[in-house]
């Protein structure tokens, strides 16, 4: 994101927060301010989007999203609502797709959040495992991981990568003894 866009986004956020802080609700003729909880929520959302991206790439092609596909599998399955790190994530892609590379992206769940996704890593050296090509990624910390992973698979003769979503989940750091 360019510095100018980021500055405009922050200014808009601060105007919104300022407007919200002026809102009062009356219950039994006593004012109750809703600004503080809402302010904390907005700040948390904004900070997440600004700090968790090690390699922002706003010129990356938009993915062709597949909710699930037998052609692309993610191991371990992250739909269990928890991801414990450090761990290794495998993206198995059916060899008939002729995958060139896989990028592992992360971001928040929800709508209108595509601009907050970040590329964690890319791999263009798969291992053949039967009918699949396996791409491997190491996740060492929750600091960079959102609550959804999206492997983007680049295949020959396709401009857009194919992707599947894994999540939502909560990232947890393994406690060493």
pLDDT higher than threshold 90 for residue 100 = yes
Q: Return the minimum-mean-pLDDT range out of 24-38, 85-99, 156-170.
A: 24-38
Q: What is the pTM of this model?
A: 0.66
**The pLDDT of residue 104:** 95
The residue length of the chain stands at 177
**Quick one: CA dihedral 161, 167, 170, 172, positive or negative?**
negative
- pLDDT digit string (tens) for 108-150? 888 877 778 889 999 999 999 999 999 999 999 999 898 889 9
pLDDT higher than threshold 90 for residue 94 = yes
b/e string for 62-94 if b means 16 or more Cβ within 10 A?
ebeeeeeeebbbbeeebeeeebebeeebbbbbb
- CATH numbers and ranges of domains, the chain: 3-51 (no CATH), 64-173 (2.60.40.10)
């Amino acid at each position: 994101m360019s510095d100018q866009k980021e500055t405009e986004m922050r200014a808009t956020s601060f105007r919104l927060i300022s407007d919200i802080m002026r809102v009062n609700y009356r219950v039994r003729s006593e004012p109750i301010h809703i600004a503080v909880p809402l302010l904390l929520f907005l700040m948390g959302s904004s900070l997440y989007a600004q700090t968790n991206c090690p390699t922002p790439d706003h010129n990356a092609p938009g993915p062709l999203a597949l909710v699930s596909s037998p052609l692309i599998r993610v191991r371990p399955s992250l739909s269990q609502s928890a991801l414990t790190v450090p761990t290794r994530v495998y993206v198995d892609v059916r060899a008939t797709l002729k995958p060139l590379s896989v990028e592992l992206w992360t971001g928040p769940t929800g709508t209108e959040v595509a601009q907050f996704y970040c590329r964690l890593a890319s791999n263009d050296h798969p291992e053949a495992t039967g009918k699949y090509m396996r791409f491997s990624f190491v996740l060492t910390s929750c600091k960079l991981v959102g609550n959804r992973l999206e492997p983007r698979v680049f295949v020959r003769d396709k401009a857009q990568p194919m992707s599947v979503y894994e999540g939502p989940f909560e990232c947890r750091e393994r406690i060493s003894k």
